[in-house]
Amino acid sequence: MRLLVDAHAVIWAVDDPSKLGLQATTALQDPGNDLVLSAGTIWEIAIKVGLGKLSLSMLYREWMHRAITDLALTVLPITVEYAEVQGSLPRHHGDPFDRLLVAQAQVENITLVSADPGFDPYGISRLW
């Protein structure tokens, strides 16, 4: 199963796995699943670290390389198609990074790993 991993899910998977939901933990640890990380999420985490709103267990670049390697994440780029879909989404969720994840989940028909019920009005599959 392909799974798109939300920012908080990847942060918790690396720095505090006890915060993950049971289904999320099982899915992230299953080697049969293809874990995908949006380029937007990489950018979102960098912005929050740079603004001092987020602390990671190591320097950002080292932490991100470790997350990608340890979780065997594939980076999903931002494309014109995703941007177009994002632009047409209703504003159920105010965060543009989260709306990007919705667009990517819709276009790719993949499940989002996230604790945020704010995604549910979009009708995408969410696992936690």
Q: State residue 94's pLDDT score.
A: 80
DSSP state of 22: H
**Spatial contact of 85 and 106, defined as CB atoms under 8 Å apart:** yes
For the chain, the average pLDDT equals 96
Give the pLDDT band (50/70/90) at residue 92: confident
Q: Per the confidence metrics, is the pTM higher than 0.85?
A: yes
> For 21-62, how does the pLDDT look when each residue is reduced to its tens digit (9 = 90+)?
999 999 999 999 999 999 999 999 999 999 999 999 999 999
Give the pLDDT band (50/70/90) at residue 118: very high
List the one residue out of 102, 74, 62, 70 whose CA is nearest residue 86.
Answer: 102
Mean pLDDT of 99-124: 97
Domains (ranges, CATH) in the chain? 2-127 (3.40.50.1010)
Please say if the pLDDT value at position 93 is more than 80.
Answer: no
